[in-house]
Structure 1
């Protein structure tokens, strides 16, 4: 069995779709060439687990007079709540909104383009995983 599965075209990948998914499910690299670029099929649960593990959120929680604020330095995303749990819940929602905006338009902005990894985490993680990631 080869260490990776590589298809030279989308047509070839379609012909071997089950094998490509089996490789991804098994943790093996599976790629499809599209011109000069490659696209990878990966196990989403493994990917989000890895991304959360190697990319800490860096979230900061600050107790204020009447509640809590949560923000991630360098990101235009913040949330407030009466309790820390409420602020974190709001932050999860704010991150999901940011990810949607990134896909719609921010991906092309120079000061947002490098947030691709964050968008992957937000798009693939459950709310529970995001809460844990923010509080780690």
Structure 2
């Protein structure tokens, strides 16, 4: 293979890797599902249209990372008698425990229960509707990642 041909092949491969991939129909996306996953694995995002709605497919870690910076946990800790209180300022989440670790673990459990309730019934309620990003962050994060999010205050 000549140098010129090798360069051309490399340039085409680079263009394909960096190009945004869009599928105008569900059927075309289904046919190219492996290509969709390959594109997201390379760090891209893919759009799929269906019935006038456009959805985006991207790596979950990338989305989780974005939400962890965009959604502030605003966790405050306080001691009350022999208990530690963990609360999320401006949000209806308060937990307690014998130690900071147990209060934060209880807060994570409360957040997970909330995410389940939000998915099944709360997402249409006016006072919960805007918590979509928080719920997605909870669903995409491990307990350890949520603890890190608390500690870094979303930064």
Q: TM tier, shorter chain?
A: over 0.9
Moved over 3 A (4+): none
Q: Provide the residue aligned with 2:66 in structure 1.
A: 50
Structure 2 segments unaligned to the other structure (5+ residues)? 1-15
Structure 1 segments unaligned to the other structure (5+ residues)? none
Structure 2 CA distance, aligned partners of 1:70 and 1:3? 45
Which of 75, 79, 103 is 1:59 aligned to?
Answer: 75
Q: Provide the residue aligned with 1:127 in structure 2.
A: 143
- Once the two structures are TM-superposed, the CA of residue 34 in structure 1 deviates from its matched residue by 2.0
Q: Is the 8 A contact 1:3 1:29 kept in 2?
A: no
Structure 2 CA distance, aligned partners of 1:10 and 1:58? 40
Structure 2 CA distance, aligned partners of 1:36 and 1:59? 40
Q: How many residues align?
A: 136
Larger radius of gyration: 2
1:8 aligns to 2:24 (yes or no): yes
Q: Decide which moves more: 19-28 or 117-126.
A: 19-28
SS of the residue 1:108 aligns to: coil
Return the TM-score normalized by structure 1. Answer: 0.93
- Once the two structures are TM-superposed, the CA of residue 79 in structure 1 deviates from its matched residue by 0.8
After superposition, the CA RMSD in angstroms is 1.2
Q: Provide the residue aligned with 1:118 in structure 2.
A: 134
Return the TM-score normalized by structure 2. Answer: 0.83
